[in-house]
Amino acid sequence: MSEFIDYVFQRSTSLNKIDNSLYSKYNVKNGLRNEDGTGVLVGLTRISDVVGYKKENGKKIDTEGELYYRGVKVSDFIKGHDAKNRFLFEEVCFLILFGYLPNKDELEAFKKELASRYELPLNYLQARILGFPMQNMMNKLQQEVLMLYTYDETPDDISPEATLNKGLDLIAKIPEIVCYAYRCKVHYFDSDSLFIHPVNTEYSIAENILQMLRIDRSFTKTEASVLDMCLVLHADHGGGNNSTFTNVVMSSTGTDIYSCFAGAIGSLKGPKHGGANLAVAKQMELVIDKVGLNATDEQLKQVIKDILDKKFNDQSGLVYGIGHAVYTLSDPRCQILSKQCKQLAIEKNRLEEYELYHRFEELAIAEIKARKGINVCANIDFYSGLVYDMLGLSKDLYTLMFVIGRSVGWVAHNIENKLYSGKIIRPAGKYVGEKKEYIKMENR
Q: Which residues are catalytic?
A: 324, 381
CA atoms within 13 A on the CB side of 3: 0
Instruction: Give the span between the Cα atoms of 193 and 227, in whole angstroms.
Output: 24
Q: Which residues does 261 contact at the CB level (< 8 Å), separation at least 6? A: 145, 170, 247, 407, 410
Instruction: Give the span between the Cα atoms of 399 and 406, in whole angstroms.
Output: 10
Runs of H (alpha helix) within 34-159: 74-84, 89-98, 104-116, 124, 137-148
Instruction: Give the span between the Cα atoms of 416 and 47, in whole angstroms.
Output: 8
Instruction: Give the span between the Cα atoms of 38 and 197, in whole angstroms.
Output: 46
Instruction: Give the span between the Cα atoms of 120 and 65, in whole angstroms.
Output: 39
First to last CA, the chain: 25
Instruction: Give the span between the Cα atoms of 161 and 170, in whole angstroms.
Output: 14
Residues pairing with 73 in the sheet: 68
For residue 214, which phi and psi values (nearest 5 degrees)?
Answer: -105, 135
For residue 341, which phi and psi values (nearest 5 degrees)?
Answer: -60, -40
Q: Are 146 and 170 in contact (CB under 8 A)?
A: no
